[in-house]
Amino acid sequence: MADCDFPRRPDRNTDRGATDGRRPAAAVAVFFSFFVLYLFTLPPDLAPYRDAGEMASSAYTLGVSHPTSYPLYILLGHSAQSFPLGSPAWRLGLFSALMAALALSALYFINERRWGGEAAAGAVVLLGFNATFWSVAQVQEMYTLWVLGAAILMGLALALKEEFSQRLWLGFAAFYGFALSNRLDLLLWAPGILWLALGYWQEAKSWPWALLCFLVFPALILITGSNTPIVLLAVGTVLWRYRGPDRYNRSGWIWRSAAFAALGLSLYAFLPIRSAQGPWLDWNHPAELRNFLDSLLRTKYGGTLDLLSKNYAKGELFDENLILYGVHLWKNFSVVGLAAVLWGCVSAARGDFRRWLGMAAMYWWSGPVFLLMANLPPNPHAAAIVDPHYLLSDLVLIFWAAEGLAQLRPSAVKAAAALGLMFIAPLAYGRLAQMDRRFHFFNYDYAINVFRCVPPGGVVVAKKDVPLYTLWYYQTVAGHRPDIRIVAQGLAGSPWYQAGWRRRDKNLALLALREGEDWKRFIAMNSRVFATSDAEAPSELIALGKPQGLLTSWSLEPPLTGVWELLPRRGRYSYEGQPDFFTSDVVESYAQSRYRQGSSAAADSARMDEAVVALLCAWSMHWLFPEPAVFLGYIEYSRGNLKGARKYYGLADILFERLFKTAESYRALGSVRDNIRRSHAETLMHLGVVSDKLGETESARALYERSLARYPLAQARYNLGVLYWNKDWARVENEFKQALRLDPGHGPAAKYLNLLRSQKETHGKK
């Protein structure tokens, strides 16, 4: 069918903007301006970001990453790492900055054509200075490539709505498949962008589709827990919307469209092909068909963003997620940008309702519906996971903002003022200082410092994304410490992971590391076993280990001494003072390791001074960390300094109160809150003991009762009974009974309860 079968439908805004000759030059200027900005603030090496170390390692080795494995990014990233300057991680960061600048250039080009230069510049400023977008422009991840693909798709869809052609449509279908081979969650746009791309015809009714799109299918996803309904809605949208001349012979048109989409998606064939070759990272081994389908559908993740969401009822955290999203919008769009968005949204609904409906569906699915499906708690870690996923919905809002700014075009002063305010707002928030990562060596120093703590041939177990993937990168790509073996705790029981280790090192005995017995077997089967502070080993096993710098050691060899003097740290090591969660998480590793060193040294009276230094260092790195204060209180108590002990225990009490309130606001799991309650109760009990020793009986009683109100401890009941000794024998007996009810093996309570009863019997006989 010839393209001329579809005459151009005039758009009321196509006369806006600069000439065709000026538009590319302005887009190029946008590209270079922001590329230089992002390049200036780029980290010098691997950024501490969720999967950055994994992506950098996988791109370098052409590996198979975690589902959905991102083949387009891995292939392009591998090519980008051939750039002759800098480290492989820096080159991949440079690639992210390049994709970000290209996305902004495309955004300008598309909006300038429709709404004029001022409006397009406003759209670029809103996205370019967006903290979320800026942050992903600095890291070794696929997000800026994702945004670039989304912007191009939006431009193609708008072009198809204005002037449909089969050639452009088939190009759109192929490019959509191509973009999906980077991130499959671009499928969230499918219902809306397909409605928009096939919007040339006006015959299809809007309201039945809107009802299905905005209510019925989101409800189906919530009920079923499956992502399949969005695929069905996308297919149904195509069938409902297309009204071309061959609409009575749709099967041929559908097959052609599907073939071109499959052409773009064919990059996923990289996964089974590369998996069959045994790469360094072969996540889920997609060379097997079942595993390949599992990787595409993320079935082992339950179709959700993170398995953490499975601890909560469906939709339970939707309101908290909406609040976090609102904060994101306020910080990144400012009141001027949000006003432009609102104005543009209303203008679009009035001027071209069907176009507005398609864009509203894109926003609805990538914004509120996505947050409903994500269902993550509102803590900093989960917020950092969700944060880059806001960008799809942000992009829709930015297109509306451009349309809103276009309404100011007759008044150049108003347009310039709005543009200036949008430019100034992020700078007023301190955005440049926040995003400057030029001297960000936290990840590099962490990896090198961990390696310095491991003797030759050691086995290091790590669990969290950033520490684990950082160690992967600096060993596999940068070539540090090839003699040690880095084990991923969360993957240790996976058959594909064990198979990969058998290919590389048959001497490593690997098994799932979940329970205490698993850890004991693992330590017995492997010599020189160590764990990073993020590894989740049972507390009783950690107590048996020996702190060795950033690690806990279960090696039979004596721990290395003076390790901390050999571990350089560049930058400000303050958990609360970091600009992002993942850098704070690296600082937390140091704080936890210092705390373990201090708590271990505190058990030896000859090492008390060492313990104090280590605990104060840990506390200085992370202020909302009560445990160092508890141990400092214990040290002062053991030294006979009761007032000093009361000071530290009192500070720990305050910190535990704040920590518990924080855990509640973050919707932490019940087990986490119970641990905080128990630790707080123990601290209050210790504070009660100190008050009793100081002769402050009423204060001690109140503290014991606060301890019991926080968490029922047998020792607190016993101490309370001792406090009433010779004062209220009935109360003493009751407290000792309660202590034995909580802990039948509490020896002192049983001993003195029996003594009390024998005395009562003796007095009764008399």
pLDDT digits 0-9 by tens, 92-133: 999 999 999 999 999 999 999 999 888 899 899 999 999 999
CB 124 within 8 A of CB 30: yes
Which pLDDT does position 574 carry in this prediction? 96
Which helix (H) or strand (E) element contains residue 487? strand 485-488
Pick from 96, 113, 80: nearest CA to 39: 96
Which pLDDT does position 313 carry in this prediction? 83
CA 496, 501, 503, 504: dihedral to nearest 10 degrees?
A: 150
Cis preceding-peptide flag for 68 (omega within 30 of 0): yes
- pLDDT band, residue 410 (cuts 50/70/90): low
- Confidence (pTM): 0.92
- pLDDT band, residue 620 (cuts 50/70/90): very high
Which pLDDT does position 309 carry in this prediction? 73
pLDDT digits 0-9 by tens, 25-64: 889 999 999 999 999 999 999 999 999 999 999 999 999 9
pLDDT at 17 over 50: no
Type of residue found at 429: Y
Which pLDDT does position 3 carry in this prediction? 45
Separation CA 577–CA 600 (nearest Å): 28
The CA-based angle 259-264-269, given to 5 degrees, is: 100
pLDDT at 706 over 70: yes
Cis preceding-peptide flag for 470 (omega within 30 of 0): no
Could you tell me the residue ranges of all domains in the chain?
19-434, 441-609
Separation CA 295–CA 66 (nearest Å): 8
CB 246 within 8 A of CB 28: no
pLDDT at 18 over 50: no
Which pLDDT does position 16 carry in this prediction? 46
Which pLDDT does position 246 carry in this prediction? 60
Report residue 159 as tokens: 């072009």
pLDDT at 361 over 60: yes
Separation CA 192–CA 599 (nearest Å): 57
The shares of helix, strand and coil residues in the chain, as percent rounded to the nearest 5, are 70, 5, 25
Name residue 552's beta-bridge partners: 531, 547
Pick from 139, 110, 140: nearest CA to 123: 110
Burial class (CB in 10 A: 0-12, 13-18, 19+), 730: exposed
Query: Residues near 100 by Cβ (< 8 Å), separated by ≥ 6?
Result: 34, 35, 38, 133, 134, 136, 137, 144, 147, 148
Report residue 357 as tokens: 């409906």
Separation CA 375–CA 364 (nearest Å): 16
Which pLDDT does position 307 carry in this prediction? 66
User: Mean pLDDT score of the chain, rounded to an integer?
Assistant: 91
pLDDT at 302 over 80: no
Alpha helices in 64-129 (DSSP H): 71-80, 88-115, 117-128
Burial class (CB in 10 A: 0-12, 13-18, 19+), 443: buried
pLDDT digits 0-9 by tens, 728-754: 888 999 999 999 999 999 999 999 989
Which pLDDT does position 427 carry in this prediction? 66
pLDDT digits 0-9 by tens, 651-681: 999 999 999 999 999 999 999 999 999 999 9
The 3 state secondary structure assigned to 323-340 is HHHHHHHHHHHHHHHHHH
Sign of the CA dihedral 326, 332, 336, 339? Answer: negative
pLDDT digits 0-9 by tens, 376-391: 899 999 999 999 999 9
- pLDDT band, residue 20 (cuts 50/70/90): low
CB 401 within 8 A of CB 337: yes
Which pLDDT does position 224 carry in this prediction? 83
Alpha helices in 246-300 (DSSP H): 250-265, 270-276, 289-297
pLDDT digits 0-9 by tens, 454-504: 999 999 999 999 999 999 999 999 999 999 999 999 999 999 999 999 999
Separation CA 232–CA 348 (nearest Å): 27
